[in-house]
Structure 1
Amino acid sequence: MLTEVRKSLKLMLYYLKFNISSAMEYRTSFLIQCFGMMLNNSAFIFFWWILFNNVNTIGGYTFRDEMMLWAISSTSFGICFITFGNISNITRMILNGELDTYLLQPRDPLMNIVCSKTEVSAWGDTLYGIIMFFLIRGFDMKGFMLFLLFCVTGGLILACVRISFHALSFYSGNVEGLAHLVTDFLITFGIYPKGIFTGVVKFIIYTVIPTAFIVHIPAEIIMQFSIVRLLGVLAVTLLWIVIAYVMFYRGLKKYESGNLIISKL
Protein backbone atom coordinates (compact mmCIF):
# COMPACT_ATOMS: atom_id res chain seq x y z
CA MET A 1 0.00 0.00 0.00
CA LEU A 2 2.72 2.48 0.99
CA THR A 3 4.68 1.51 -2.11
CA GLU A 4 1.69 2.38 -4.33
CA VAL A 5 1.24 5.71 -2.54
CA ARG A 6 4.91 6.55 -3.10
CA LYS A 7 4.65 5.61 -6.78
CA SER A 8 1.55 7.78 -7.17
CA LEU A 9 3.22 10.75 -5.47
CA LYS A 10 6.31 10.31 -7.64
CA LEU A 11 4.15 10.24 -10.78
CA MET A 12 2.23 13.32 -9.62
CA LEU A 13 5.45 15.26 -9.01
CA TYR A 14 6.82 14.19 -12.39
CA TYR A 15 3.72 15.41 -14.19
CA LEU A 16 3.73 18.64 -12.18
CA LYS A 17 7.33 19.35 -13.15
CA PHE A 18 6.62 18.51 -16.80
CA ASN A 19 3.44 20.63 -16.93
CA ILE A 20 5.19 23.62 -15.36
CA SER A 21 8.02 23.34 -17.89
CA SER A 22 5.50 23.20 -20.75
CA ALA A 23 3.62 26.23 -19.45
CA MET A 24 6.80 28.26 -19.03
CA GLU A 25 7.66 27.82 -22.71
CA TYR A 26 5.06 30.52 -23.35
CA ARG A 27 5.90 32.85 -20.48
CA THR A 28 3.98 35.85 -21.76
CA SER A 29 0.79 33.82 -22.05
CA PHE A 30 1.47 32.26 -18.65
CA LEU A 31 1.88 35.66 -16.96
CA ILE A 32 -1.17 37.15 -18.70
CA GLN A 33 -3.39 34.27 -17.60
CA CYS A 34 -2.06 34.36 -14.03
CA PHE A 35 -2.42 38.10 -13.55
CA GLY A 36 -5.74 38.09 -15.37
CA MET A 37 -7.15 35.57 -12.92
CA MET A 38 -5.74 37.49 -9.94
CA LEU A 39 -7.33 40.69 -11.25
CA ASN A 40 -10.64 38.91 -11.76
CA ASN A 41 -10.63 37.60 -8.19
CA SER A 42 -9.57 40.97 -6.78
CA ALA A 43 -12.72 42.59 -8.18
CA PHE A 44 -14.77 40.72 -5.58
CA ILE A 45 -12.87 42.37 -2.71
CA PHE A 46 -14.48 45.67 -3.66
CA PHE A 47 -17.93 44.08 -3.66
CA TRP A 48 -17.51 42.61 -0.16
CA TRP A 49 -15.89 45.78 1.15
CA ILE A 50 -18.95 47.81 0.14
CA LEU A 51 -21.29 45.21 1.61
CA PHE A 52 -19.51 45.04 4.97
CA ASN A 53 -19.37 48.84 5.12
CA ASN A 54 -23.15 48.75 5.35
CA VAL A 55 -23.45 45.83 7.77
CA ASN A 56 -21.01 44.89 10.54
CA THR A 57 -21.31 41.12 10.17
CA ILE A 58 -22.96 38.57 7.89
CA GLY A 59 -23.76 35.20 9.42
CA GLY A 60 -21.33 36.02 12.23
CA TYR A 61 -18.47 36.78 9.82
CA THR A 62 -16.55 40.06 9.56
CA PHE A 63 -14.87 41.39 6.41
CA ARG A 64 -11.55 39.79 7.46
CA ASP A 65 -13.28 36.44 8.04
CA GLU A 66 -14.86 36.64 4.59
CA MET A 67 -11.51 37.39 2.97
CA MET A 68 -10.04 34.33 4.70
CA LEU A 69 -12.74 32.21 3.04
CA TRP A 70 -11.70 33.67 -0.30
CA ALA A 71 -8.02 33.01 0.40
CA ILE A 72 -8.55 29.35 1.26
CA SER A 73 -11.10 28.76 -1.49
CA SER A 74 -8.96 30.38 -4.18
CA THR A 75 -5.71 28.61 -3.30
CA SER A 76 -7.45 25.24 -2.84
CA PHE A 77 -9.05 25.62 -6.27
CA GLY A 78 -5.69 26.62 -7.74
CA ILE A 79 -3.83 23.66 -6.24
CA CYS A 80 -6.53 21.30 -7.47
CA PHE A 81 -6.35 22.46 -11.09
CA ILE A 82 -2.59 22.94 -11.20
CA THR A 83 -2.05 19.37 -10.08
CA PHE A 84 -5.14 17.62 -11.45
CA GLY A 85 -5.90 19.72 -14.51
CA ASN A 86 -7.37 16.89 -16.58
CA ILE A 87 -10.26 16.17 -14.22
CA SER A 88 -12.73 18.11 -16.34
CA ASN A 89 -12.15 15.74 -19.29
CA ILE A 90 -12.87 12.45 -17.48
CA THR A 91 -16.47 12.14 -18.66
CA ARG A 92 -15.55 12.87 -22.28
CA MET A 93 -12.73 10.32 -22.15
CA ILE A 94 -15.06 7.67 -20.72
CA LEU A 95 -17.78 8.24 -23.32
CA ASN A 96 -15.35 8.38 -26.25
CA GLY A 97 -13.34 5.35 -25.13
CA GLU A 98 -10.19 7.40 -24.65
CA LEU A 99 -8.95 5.73 -21.47
CA ASP A 100 -7.19 2.93 -23.36
CA THR A 101 -3.82 4.69 -23.52
CA TYR A 102 -3.74 5.17 -19.76
CA LEU A 103 -4.94 1.65 -18.97
CA LEU A 104 -2.07 0.18 -20.98
CA GLN A 105 0.58 2.09 -19.04
CA PRO A 106 2.22 0.51 -15.95
CA ARG A 107 0.99 3.29 -13.65
CA ASP A 108 -2.10 3.97 -11.59
CA PRO A 109 -4.62 4.89 -14.35
CA LEU A 110 -6.59 7.41 -12.30
CA MET A 111 -3.53 9.33 -11.16
CA ASN A 112 -2.13 9.14 -14.67
CA ILE A 113 -5.31 10.59 -16.16
CA VAL A 114 -5.97 13.48 -13.79
CA CYS A 115 -2.35 14.65 -13.56
CA SER A 116 -1.62 14.61 -17.28
CA LYS A 117 -2.70 18.25 -17.77
CA THR A 118 -2.61 21.49 -15.84
CA GLU A 119 -4.66 24.70 -15.87
CA VAL A 120 -2.29 27.66 -16.27
CA SER A 121 -4.80 30.20 -14.94
CA ALA A 122 -4.99 28.22 -11.69
CA TRP A 123 -1.58 29.65 -10.75
CA GLY A 124 -3.32 33.02 -10.54
CA ASP A 125 -5.89 31.60 -8.12
CA THR A 126 -3.14 30.08 -5.99
CA LEU A 127 -1.05 33.25 -5.77
CA TYR A 128 -4.13 35.39 -5.13
CA GLY A 129 -5.09 33.29 -2.11
CA ILE A 130 -1.57 33.34 -0.67
CA ILE A 131 -1.29 37.12 -1.04
CA MET A 132 -4.73 37.53 0.51
CA PHE A 133 -3.68 35.44 3.52
CA PHE A 134 -0.69 37.68 4.27
CA LEU A 135 -2.82 40.80 3.86
CA ILE A 136 -5.26 39.42 6.42
CA ARG A 137 -2.95 37.75 8.93
CA GLY A 138 0.42 39.43 8.36
CA PHE A 139 3.50 37.23 8.77
CA ASP A 140 1.78 34.61 10.93
CA MET A 141 3.92 31.62 9.98
CA LYS A 142 2.06 29.12 12.18
CA GLY A 143 -1.18 30.26 10.59
CA PHE A 144 0.41 30.11 7.14
CA MET A 145 1.53 26.51 7.65
CA LEU A 146 -2.04 25.61 8.61
CA PHE A 147 -3.28 27.60 5.63
CA LEU A 148 -1.08 25.63 3.21
CA LEU A 149 -2.13 22.34 4.80
CA PHE A 150 -5.80 23.18 4.41
CA CYS A 151 -5.34 24.37 0.85
CA VAL A 152 -3.81 20.98 0.04
CA THR A 153 -6.63 19.08 1.78
CA GLY A 154 -9.17 21.41 0.15
CA GLY A 155 -7.64 20.81 -3.27
CA LEU A 156 -7.72 17.05 -2.69
CA ILE A 157 -11.35 17.04 -1.55
CA LEU A 158 -12.38 19.21 -4.50
CA ALA A 159 -10.57 16.88 -6.90
CA CYS A 160 -12.03 13.74 -5.34
CA VAL A 161 -15.60 15.08 -5.35
CA ARG A 162 -15.25 15.91 -9.05
CA ILE A 163 -13.75 12.49 -9.83
CA SER A 164 -16.60 10.79 -7.98
CA PHE A 165 -19.26 12.62 -9.95
CA HIS A 166 -17.46 12.16 -13.28
CA ALA A 167 -17.20 8.43 -12.49
CA LEU A 168 -21.00 8.28 -12.64
CA SER A 169 -20.51 8.42 -16.43
CA PHE A 170 -19.55 4.75 -16.32
CA TYR A 171 -23.12 4.03 -15.22
CA SER A 172 -25.33 6.87 -16.45
CA GLY A 173 -23.76 8.26 -19.60
CA ASN A 174 -22.94 11.95 -19.90
CA VAL A 175 -22.90 13.58 -16.44
CA GLU A 176 -20.39 16.28 -17.34
CA GLY A 177 -22.97 18.98 -16.70
CA LEU A 178 -23.66 17.59 -13.23
CA ALA A 179 -19.95 17.46 -12.40
CA HIS A 180 -19.53 21.10 -13.43
CA LEU A 181 -22.63 22.06 -11.43
CA VAL A 182 -21.22 20.39 -8.31
CA THR A 183 -17.96 22.29 -8.79
CA ASP A 184 -19.89 25.55 -9.03
CA PHE A 185 -21.75 24.70 -5.82
CA LEU A 186 -18.49 23.85 -4.03
CA ILE A 187 -17.00 27.20 -4.97
CA THR A 188 -20.14 29.27 -4.42
CA PHE A 189 -20.92 27.83 -0.98
CA GLY A 190 -17.28 28.28 0.00
CA ILE A 191 -17.17 32.04 -0.52
CA TYR A 192 -20.21 32.79 1.64
CA PRO A 193 -20.29 32.77 5.47
CA LYS A 194 -21.29 29.41 6.91
CA GLY A 195 -23.76 31.09 9.27
CA ILE A 196 -26.19 31.91 6.46
CA PHE A 197 -26.71 28.23 5.64
CA THR A 198 -29.35 26.33 7.60
CA GLY A 199 -31.45 23.19 7.34
CA VAL A 200 -30.98 21.03 4.26
CA VAL A 201 -28.35 23.30 2.72
CA LYS A 202 -26.22 23.09 5.87
CA PHE A 203 -26.48 19.29 5.76
CA ILE A 204 -25.41 19.27 2.10
CA ILE A 205 -22.26 21.38 2.66
CA TYR A 206 -21.12 18.84 5.26
CA THR A 207 -21.84 15.75 3.17
CA VAL A 208 -22.53 15.55 -0.59
CA ILE A 209 -20.89 18.89 -1.34
CA PRO A 210 -18.37 19.10 1.54
CA THR A 211 -17.59 22.82 1.32
CA ALA A 212 -17.51 23.06 5.11
CA PHE A 213 -14.42 20.82 5.21
CA ILE A 214 -12.76 22.59 2.27
CA VAL A 215 -13.16 26.18 3.48
CA HIS A 216 -15.31 26.95 6.54
CA ILE A 217 -13.85 24.63 9.18
CA PRO A 218 -10.23 25.25 8.06
CA ALA A 219 -10.82 29.02 8.34
CA GLU A 220 -12.15 28.55 11.87
CA ILE A 221 -9.12 26.42 12.82
CA ILE A 222 -6.71 29.08 11.54
CA MET A 223 -8.52 31.69 13.63
CA GLN A 224 -8.80 29.45 16.70
CA PHE A 225 -6.79 26.22 16.61
CA SER A 226 -8.53 22.94 17.45
CA ILE A 227 -6.76 19.59 17.13
CA VAL A 228 -10.11 17.76 17.06
CA ARG A 229 -11.32 19.79 14.08
CA LEU A 230 -7.95 19.42 12.38
CA LEU A 231 -8.16 15.64 12.65
CA GLY A 232 -11.73 15.83 11.38
CA VAL A 233 -10.63 17.67 8.22
CA LEU A 234 -7.84 15.13 7.63
CA ALA A 235 -10.26 12.23 8.16
CA VAL A 236 -12.79 13.66 5.69
CA THR A 237 -10.02 14.22 3.15
CA LEU A 238 -8.96 10.57 3.44
CA LEU A 239 -12.59 9.47 3.19
CA TRP A 240 -13.12 11.36 -0.07
CA ILE A 241 -9.89 9.94 -1.52
CA VAL A 242 -11.24 6.44 -0.81
CA ILE A 243 -14.66 7.32 -2.27
CA ALA A 244 -13.08 8.68 -5.46
CA TYR A 245 -10.92 5.60 -5.96
CA VAL A 246 -13.78 3.18 -5.27
CA MET A 247 -16.18 5.05 -7.57
CA PHE A 248 -13.67 5.23 -10.41
CA TYR A 249 -12.34 1.67 -10.30
CA ARG A 250 -15.72 0.05 -9.81
CA GLY A 251 -17.02 2.05 -12.72
CA LEU A 252 -13.96 1.13 -14.78
CA LYS A 253 -15.19 -2.47 -14.82
CA LYS A 254 -18.06 -1.25 -17.00
CA TYR A 255 -15.79 0.69 -19.35
CA GLU A 256 -15.94 -0.23 -23.02
CA SER A 257 -12.76 0.34 -25.01
CA GLY A 258 -12.97 2.75 -27.87
CA ASN A 259 -10.58 0.59 -29.92
CA LEU A 260 -9.16 3.80 -31.30
CA ILE A 261 -6.50 3.47 -33.94
CA ILE A 262 -4.79 6.80 -34.50
CA SER A 263 -2.57 7.26 -37.52
CA LYS A 264 0.16 9.89 -37.24
CA LEU A 265 1.76 11.06 -40.44
Structure 2
Amino acid sequence: MLMEVRKSIKLILYYFKFNLSAVMEYRVSFLVQVFGMILNNSAFIFFWWVLFNNVNSIGGYGFKDVMMLWSIMSTSFGVSFLVFGNVGNITKMILNGELDTYLLQPKDALINILCSKTIVSAWGDTLYGVILFIIMNGFHIKSFMLFILFCITGALIFASVLITCHSFSFYAGNLDSLAQLVTEFMISFAIYPEGIFKGAIKYVLYTAIPTVFMVYIPAEVVINFSLIKALEVLAVTVVWIIIAYVAFYKGLKKYESGNLIISKL
Protein backbone atom coordinates (compact mmCIF):
# COMPACT_ATOMS: atom_id res chain seq x y z
CA MET A 1 0.00 0.00 0.00
CA LEU A 2 2.77 2.42 0.98
CA MET A 3 4.65 1.46 -2.17
CA GLU A 4 1.64 2.38 -4.32
CA VAL A 5 1.27 5.71 -2.54
CA ARG A 6 4.96 6.42 -3.09
CA LYS A 7 4.66 5.57 -6.79
CA SER A 8 1.61 7.82 -7.12
CA ILE A 9 3.38 10.75 -5.45
CA LYS A 10 6.40 10.22 -7.71
CA LEU A 11 4.15 10.23 -10.79
CA ILE A 12 2.39 13.40 -9.63
CA LEU A 13 5.74 15.15 -9.12
CA TYR A 14 6.94 14.02 -12.55
CA TYR A 15 3.84 15.42 -14.24
CA PHE A 16 4.13 18.63 -12.20
CA LYS A 17 7.71 19.22 -13.40
CA PHE A 18 6.78 18.36 -16.98
CA ASN A 19 3.71 20.65 -17.02
CA LEU A 20 5.66 23.49 -15.42
CA SER A 21 8.43 23.26 -18.00
CA ALA A 22 5.80 23.18 -20.77
CA VAL A 23 3.98 26.34 -19.65
CA MET A 24 7.26 28.19 -19.02
CA GLU A 25 8.06 27.92 -22.72
CA TYR A 26 5.54 30.74 -23.17
CA ARG A 27 6.62 32.91 -20.25
CA VAL A 28 4.90 36.11 -21.29
CA SER A 29 1.54 34.36 -21.65
CA PHE A 30 2.17 32.53 -18.37
CA LEU A 31 2.94 35.75 -16.46
CA VAL A 32 0.00 37.61 -17.97
CA GLN A 33 -2.46 34.90 -16.94
CA VAL A 34 -0.97 34.52 -13.47
CA PHE A 35 -0.89 38.21 -12.61
CA GLY A 36 -4.25 38.75 -14.28
CA MET A 37 -5.79 36.20 -11.95
CA ILE A 38 -4.07 37.76 -8.92
CA LEU A 39 -5.47 41.19 -9.83
CA ASN A 40 -8.92 39.72 -10.45
CA ASN A 41 -8.97 38.05 -7.02
CA SER A 42 -7.57 41.13 -5.30
CA ALA A 43 -10.69 43.09 -6.21
CA PHE A 44 -12.61 41.05 -3.64
CA ILE A 45 -10.34 42.30 -0.84
CA PHE A 46 -11.60 45.81 -1.50
CA PHE A 47 -15.22 44.58 -1.41
CA TRP A 48 -14.78 42.94 2.00
CA TRP A 49 -12.79 45.90 3.34
CA VAL A 50 -15.62 48.29 2.46
CA LEU A 51 -18.19 45.90 3.94
CA PHE A 52 -16.36 45.49 7.24
CA ASN A 53 -15.91 49.24 7.52
CA ASN A 54 -19.69 49.37 7.92
CA VAL A 55 -20.25 46.31 10.13
CA ASN A 56 -18.22 44.89 13.00
CA SER A 57 -18.63 41.23 12.10
CA ILE A 58 -20.55 38.85 9.85
CA GLY A 59 -21.53 35.47 11.24
CA GLY A 60 -18.96 35.92 14.00
CA TYR A 61 -16.15 36.59 11.51
CA GLY A 62 -14.09 39.76 11.18
CA PHE A 63 -12.21 41.02 8.13
CA LYS A 64 -9.03 39.11 8.98
CA ASP A 65 -11.01 35.88 9.53
CA VAL A 66 -12.68 36.16 6.12
CA MET A 67 -9.31 36.82 4.49
CA MET A 68 -8.06 33.61 6.11
CA LEU A 69 -10.91 31.73 4.41
CA TRP A 70 -10.07 33.35 1.09
CA SER A 71 -6.37 32.56 1.37
CA ILE A 72 -6.95 28.88 2.15
CA MET A 73 -9.68 28.41 -0.45
CA SER A 74 -7.83 30.27 -3.20
CA THR A 75 -4.64 28.30 -2.64
CA SER A 76 -6.50 24.99 -2.35
CA PHE A 77 -8.41 25.69 -5.56
CA GLY A 78 -5.23 26.75 -7.32
CA VAL A 79 -3.20 23.73 -6.22
CA SER A 80 -6.03 21.41 -7.23
CA PHE A 81 -6.15 22.71 -10.80
CA LEU A 82 -2.45 23.28 -11.37
CA VAL A 83 -1.62 19.72 -10.23
CA PHE A 84 -4.83 17.95 -11.32
CA GLY A 85 -5.59 20.06 -14.37
CA ASN A 86 -7.86 17.49 -16.00
CA VAL A 87 -10.16 17.14 -13.01
CA GLY A 88 -12.79 19.28 -14.71
CA ASN A 89 -12.63 17.34 -18.00
CA ILE A 90 -13.34 13.81 -16.81
CA THR A 91 -16.95 13.72 -17.99
CA LYS A 92 -15.99 14.97 -21.46
CA MET A 93 -13.24 12.36 -21.67
CA ILE A 94 -15.65 9.61 -20.63
CA LEU A 95 -18.27 10.62 -23.20
CA ASN A 96 -15.73 11.04 -26.01
CA GLY A 97 -13.95 7.79 -25.26
CA GLU A 98 -10.71 9.60 -24.51
CA LEU A 99 -9.66 7.42 -21.59
CA ASP A 100 -8.25 4.68 -23.83
CA THR A 101 -4.71 6.03 -24.02
CA TYR A 102 -4.48 6.28 -20.23
CA LEU A 103 -5.86 2.80 -19.64
CA LEU A 104 -3.15 1.30 -21.87
CA GLN A 105 -0.38 2.75 -19.73
CA PRO A 106 1.12 0.81 -16.79
CA LYS A 107 0.73 3.70 -14.33
CA ASP A 108 -2.35 4.48 -12.26
CA ALA A 109 -5.02 5.52 -14.78
CA LEU A 110 -6.74 8.09 -12.56
CA ILE A 111 -3.56 9.94 -11.66
CA ASN A 112 -2.45 9.79 -15.30
CA ILE A 113 -5.72 11.40 -16.34
CA LEU A 114 -5.73 14.07 -13.64
CA CYS A 115 -2.10 15.16 -13.86
CA SER A 116 -1.59 15.12 -17.63
CA LYS A 117 -2.76 18.73 -17.82
CA THR A 118 -2.31 21.91 -15.80
CA ILE A 119 -4.35 25.12 -15.71
CA VAL A 120 -2.04 28.12 -16.03
CA SER A 121 -4.38 30.61 -14.32
CA ALA A 122 -4.43 28.32 -11.26
CA TRP A 123 -0.91 29.56 -10.50
CA GLY A 124 -2.45 32.98 -10.00
CA ASP A 125 -5.01 31.62 -7.52
CA THR A 126 -2.26 29.78 -5.66
CA LEU A 127 0.11 32.75 -5.41
CA TYR A 128 -2.74 35.07 -4.49
CA GLY A 129 -3.73 32.85 -1.58
CA VAL A 130 -0.18 32.52 -0.28
CA ILE A 131 0.54 36.25 -0.57
CA LEU A 132 -2.77 37.14 1.08
CA PHE A 133 -2.05 34.79 3.99
CA ILE A 134 1.41 36.29 4.59
CA ILE A 135 0.14 39.88 4.34
CA MET A 136 -2.69 39.27 6.80
CA ASN A 137 -0.86 37.00 9.26
CA GLY A 138 2.85 37.65 8.82
CA PHE A 139 5.33 34.85 8.28
CA HIS A 140 5.52 32.46 11.22
CA ILE A 141 6.89 29.01 10.49
CA LYS A 142 4.29 27.06 12.49
CA SER A 143 1.21 28.85 11.14
CA PHE A 144 2.60 28.93 7.58
CA MET A 145 3.36 25.20 7.59
CA LEU A 146 -0.16 24.50 8.88
CA PHE A 147 -1.51 26.75 6.15
CA ILE A 148 0.42 24.81 3.47
CA LEU A 149 -0.72 21.48 4.94
CA PHE A 150 -4.38 22.49 4.89
CA CYS A 151 -4.11 23.92 1.38
CA ILE A 152 -2.88 20.50 0.27
CA THR A 153 -5.69 18.69 2.11
CA GLY A 154 -8.17 21.23 0.75
CA ALA A 155 -6.93 20.63 -2.80
CA LEU A 156 -7.20 16.85 -2.35
CA ILE A 157 -10.75 17.09 -0.96
CA PHE A 158 -11.76 19.51 -3.71
CA ALA A 159 -10.41 17.23 -6.44
CA SER A 160 -11.87 14.11 -4.81
CA VAL A 161 -15.38 15.59 -4.68
CA LEU A 162 -15.16 16.56 -8.36
CA ILE A 163 -13.82 13.13 -9.35
CA THR A 164 -16.74 11.52 -7.53
CA CYS A 165 -19.25 13.76 -9.31
CA HIS A 166 -17.71 13.17 -12.72
CA SER A 167 -17.61 9.41 -12.10
CA PHE A 168 -21.40 9.29 -12.11
CA SER A 169 -21.15 10.07 -15.83
CA PHE A 170 -20.11 6.45 -16.35
CA TYR A 171 -23.68 5.55 -15.41
CA ALA A 172 -25.86 8.55 -16.24
CA GLY A 173 -24.21 10.19 -19.23
CA ASN A 174 -23.35 13.87 -19.34
CA LEU A 175 -23.25 15.17 -15.77
CA ASP A 176 -20.72 17.89 -16.46
CA SER A 177 -23.20 20.55 -15.39
CA LEU A 178 -23.58 18.81 -12.01
CA ALA A 179 -19.82 18.86 -11.47
CA GLN A 180 -19.67 22.54 -12.42
CA LEU A 181 -22.52 23.28 -10.01
CA VAL A 182 -20.74 21.45 -7.19
CA THR A 183 -17.56 23.39 -8.00
CA GLU A 184 -19.41 26.69 -7.72
CA PHE A 185 -21.06 25.59 -4.47
CA MET A 186 -17.75 24.57 -2.88
CA ILE A 187 -16.14 27.88 -3.80
CA SER A 188 -19.13 30.01 -2.81
CA PHE A 189 -19.70 28.35 0.56
CA ALA A 190 -15.98 28.38 1.41
CA ILE A 191 -15.43 32.13 1.05
CA TYR A 192 -18.27 33.27 3.30
CA PRO A 193 -18.38 33.10 7.11
CA GLU A 194 -19.62 29.79 8.41
CA GLY A 195 -21.97 31.49 10.87
CA ILE A 196 -24.33 32.70 8.14
CA PHE A 197 -25.27 29.13 7.21
CA LYS A 198 -28.01 27.48 9.24
CA GLY A 199 -30.15 24.34 9.33
CA ALA A 200 -29.86 21.76 6.57
CA ILE A 201 -27.18 23.72 4.74
CA LYS A 202 -24.89 23.19 7.72
CA TYR A 203 -25.14 19.40 7.29
CA VAL A 204 -24.40 19.71 3.57
CA LEU A 205 -21.19 21.57 4.39
CA TYR A 206 -20.04 18.61 6.48
CA THR A 207 -20.97 15.94 3.93
CA ALA A 208 -21.70 16.38 0.21
CA ILE A 209 -19.94 19.75 -0.07
CA PRO A 210 -17.33 19.40 2.70
CA THR A 211 -16.14 23.01 2.90
CA VAL A 212 -16.07 22.69 6.70
CA PHE A 213 -13.07 20.39 6.36
CA MET A 214 -11.60 22.27 3.41
CA VAL A 215 -11.62 25.75 4.93
CA TYR A 216 -13.49 26.39 8.18
CA ILE A 217 -11.77 23.91 10.50
CA PRO A 218 -8.33 24.49 8.90
CA ALA A 219 -8.70 28.26 9.41
CA GLU A 220 -9.60 27.65 13.05
CA VAL A 221 -6.64 25.31 13.56
CA VAL A 222 -4.18 27.78 11.99
CA ILE A 223 -5.36 30.47 14.42
CA ASN A 224 -5.80 28.26 17.50
CA PHE A 225 -4.01 24.95 17.03
CA SER A 226 -5.92 21.78 17.90
CA LEU A 227 -4.34 18.40 17.19
CA ILE A 228 -7.72 16.64 17.28
CA LYS A 229 -9.25 18.95 14.71
CA ALA A 230 -6.15 18.73 12.52
CA LEU A 231 -6.41 14.94 12.60
CA GLU A 232 -10.11 15.18 11.74
CA VAL A 233 -9.22 17.13 8.58
CA LEU A 234 -6.57 14.56 7.63
CA ALA A 235 -8.99 11.69 8.24
CA VAL A 236 -11.73 13.29 6.12
CA THR A 237 -9.19 13.91 3.36
CA VAL A 238 -8.25 10.22 3.30
CA VAL A 239 -11.94 9.21 3.29
CA TRP A 240 -12.70 11.46 0.32
CA ILE A 241 -9.68 10.16 -1.62
CA ILE A 242 -10.93 6.60 -1.06
CA ILE A 243 -14.46 7.57 -2.13
CA ALA A 244 -13.10 9.18 -5.31
CA TYR A 245 -10.96 6.16 -6.19
CA VAL A 246 -13.78 3.69 -5.57
CA ALA A 247 -16.30 5.81 -7.52
CA PHE A 248 -13.96 6.18 -10.50
CA TYR A 249 -12.81 2.57 -10.77
CA LYS A 250 -16.29 1.17 -10.17
CA GLY A 251 -17.59 3.42 -12.92
CA LEU A 252 -14.68 2.54 -15.17
CA LYS A 253 -16.13 -0.96 -15.51
CA LYS A 254 -19.01 0.67 -17.40
CA TYR A 255 -16.70 2.60 -19.71
CA GLU A 256 -17.07 2.04 -23.44
CA SER A 257 -13.99 2.71 -25.52
CA GLY A 258 -14.32 5.39 -28.15
CA ASN A 259 -11.83 3.51 -30.33
CA LEU A 260 -9.87 6.73 -30.56
CA ILE A 261 -6.14 6.71 -31.05
CA ILE A 262 -4.74 9.67 -29.14
CA SER A 263 -1.01 10.18 -29.02
CA LYS A 264 0.62 11.40 -25.81
CA LEU A 265 4.12 12.77 -25.90
Q: Which TM-score bucket, shorter chain as reference?
A: over 0.9
Is the 2:101–2:261 Cα contact (8 Å) retained in structure 1?
no
**Whole-Å separation in 2 of the counterparts to 1:243 and 1:146:** 25
The percentage of counterpart residues that share the same residue type is: 68
Q: CA deviation at 1:172?
A: 0.5
Alignment-derived partner of residue 210 in structure 1: 210
User: What's the CA shift string for 1:207-254, capped at 9, x where partnerless?
Assistant: 000011101110011111111100000000000000000000000001
**Whole-Å separation in 2 of the counterparts to 1:146 and 1:262:** 41
User: What's the CA shift string for 1:188-208, capped at 9, x where partnerless?
Assistant: 000000000111111001100
State the AA in 2 paired with 1:174.
N
Q: CA deviation at 1:45?
A: 0.4
User: What's the CA shift string for 1:89-126, capped at 9, x where partnerless?
Assistant: 10011011111100000000000000000001111111
Alignment-derived partner of residue 34 in structure 2: 34
Is the 2:97–2:258 Cα contact (8 Å) retained in structure 1?
yes
Is the 2:85–2:114 Cα contact (8 Å) retained in structure 1?
yes
Q: CA deviation at 1:261?
A: 4.2
Alignment-derived partner of residue 163 in structure 1: 163
1:179-194 to structure 2, matched below 5 A, reads 179-194=179-194
Q: CA deviation at 1:262?
A: 6.0
State the AA in 2 paired with 1:9.
I
Alignment-derived partner of residue 238 in structure 2: 238
**Whole-Å separation in 1 of the counterparts to 2:194 and 2:146:** 20
1:167-178 to structure 2, matched below 5 A, reads 167-178=167-178
User: What's the CA shift string for 1:25-53, capped at 9, x where partnerless?
Assistant: 00000000000000000000010001101
Structure 1 residues 261 and 66: alpha-carbon distance in aligned structure 2, compared to 1, 3 A threshold: closer
Structure 1 residues 189 and 262: alpha-carbon distance in aligned structure 2, compared to 1, 3 A threshold: closer
SS in structure 2 of the partner of residue 88 of structure 1: coil
Q: CA deviation at 1:259?
A: 1.2
**Whole-Å separation in 2 of the counterparts to 1:4 and 1:228:** 28
1:260 and 2:260 matched = yes
Alignment-derived partner of residue 73 in structure 2: 73
Alignment-derived partner of residue 43 in structure 2: 43
TM-score by length of structure 2 reads 0.98
Question: What CA RMSD, in Å, does the superposition of the two structures yield over aligned residues?
Answer: 0.9
**Whole-Å separation in 2 of the counterparts to 1:79 and 1:139:** 20
**Whole-Å separation in 2 of the counterparts to 1:3 and 1:224:** 35
**Whole-Å separation in 1 of the counterparts to 2:66 and 2:110:** 35
**Whole-Å separation in 2 of the counterparts to 1:261 and 1:77:** 32
State the AA in 1 paired with 2:143.
G
Structure 1 residues 105 and 43: alpha-carbon distance in aligned structure 2, compared to 1, 3 A threshold: same
**Whole-Å separation in 2 of the counterparts to 1:120 and 1:104:** 27
Q: CA deviation at 1:2?
A: 1.2
Aligned length: 263
User: What's the CA shift string for 1:163-182, capped at 9, x where partnerless?
Assistant: 00000000100000000110
**Whole-Å separation in 1 of the counterparts to 2:262 and 2:256:** 17
**Whole-Å separation in 2 of the counterparts to 1:88 and 1:206:** 22
Unaligned runs of 5+ in 1: none
Q: CA deviation at 1:136?
A: 1.1
**Whole-Å separation in 2 of the counterparts to 1:131 and 1:262:** 39
Unaligned runs of 5+ in 2: none
1:16-27 to structure 2, matched below 5 A, reads 16-27=16-27
* Structure 1 segments of 4+ aligned residues over 3 angstroms from their partners: none
1:107-126 to structure 2, matched below 5 A, reads 107-126=107-126
Alignment-derived partner of residue 141 in structure 1: 141
Q: CA deviation at 1:158?
A: 0.2
Alignment-derived partner of residue 248 in structure 2: 248
**Whole-Å separation in 1 of the counterparts to 2:143 and 2:9:** 26
Which is further off, 253-262 or 43-52? 253-262
SS in structure 2 of the partner of residue 154 of structure 1: helix
Is the 2:98–2:262 Cα contact (8 Å) retained in structure 1?
no
**Whole-Å separation in 1 of the counterparts to 2:76 and 2:262:** 37
Alignment-derived partner of residue 13 in structure 2: 13
User: What's the CA shift string for 1:123-156, capped at 9, x where partnerless?
Assistant: 1111111111111111221100000000000000
SS in structure 2 of the partner of residue 87 of structure 1: coil
